[in-house]
Chains A and B, each alone.
Chain A
Amino acid sequence: MTVEIRNQDFDPYQEVSAYQREVLQADGKYGATAVFVGSMRDFNEGDEIRAMTLEHYPEMTEQYLEKISREAKQRWDLIDSLIIHRVGDVSPNEPIVVVAVWSAHRAAAYEANRYLMEELKSRAPFWKKETLVQGSRWVEKNT
């Protein structure tokens, strides 16, 4: 069960593969890996988005990501989970979040992955500010 906040661009697929190889070390134990990657779009609510800044509440963010990871582990039969989330200045097409879940069978991995993403979006203290062609605006609510 690992959570990380990153202030630089990262490759979510390399991260998942490295975690599996170097941390999880459970080859043969998991039959299912569910991976979700959220990336930055270059449009929102009909406007072109040039860039984005992600603000967070240090420590509370990590605490909430750890909390939802523990909740998922209590609800489903999981082997492990990994959440990495970007903060700082993000450009279109860069990943914002990766959530990976390992379990013996697919149902637990799929369901726990969805749960982690939905809880992250509604409870973890991150805020997006979009840079438009002219000016900038805070994203008011998550879709």
Chain B
Amino acid sequence: MNMIGSLPPESQSNPDRRTMSIAVKFFASLREQVGKADTSVESQTVSSVQDVWELASGGRPMPANTLMAVNMDYVDANHPVVEGDEVAFFPPVTGG
């Protein structure tokens, strides 16, 4: 029996139709530009850090020098996200 073949096409990439919840943080100049420090993304289609940016920032272009972290480790925009992840976006760091 081929269940997958009988499902509508949009279900095939996420067959159990789970809504993922991702916590999102913005820091420093990005926090001011986006207008929020903390938010969350609830979606069935989000799969990468780039997708999270697009949903959480309201579709604005990501500045070229943006740094990204998933669960507090640096990643690039193609990095996958899973339920419960914390994704952060921020400009180059300037401590010390």
Contact = CB atoms under 8 A, between A and B. Distances in A.
A48 interface: no
Interface of A: 38, 54-57, 59-60, 63, 85, 96-97, 117, 120-129, 138-142
Interface of B: 25, 27-29, 67, 69, 72, 74, 88, 90-96
The 7 closest A-B pairs by CB, nearest first: A126-B95, A127-B28, A60-B72, A121-B96, A139-B94, A138-B29, A128-B94
Central interface residue in A57, A122, A128, A141, by most chain B CB within 10 Å: A57
B18 to A, nearest CB: 27
Given A55-B27, A57-B90, A138-B29, A126 B69 contact: no
Nearest to A62: B72
A142 B96 contact: yes
Nearest to A86: B95
A64 to B, nearest CB: 8
Contacts of B69: 57, 60, 125
Contact of A54 (B74, B88, B92, B95): B95
Nearest to A143: B94
Nearest to A123: B93
B28 to A, nearest CB: 4
B92 A141 contact: yes
Given A57-B88, A60-B88, A125-B27, A141 B94 contact: yes
Contact of B91 (A60, A63, A123, A127): A127
Contacts of A139: 94
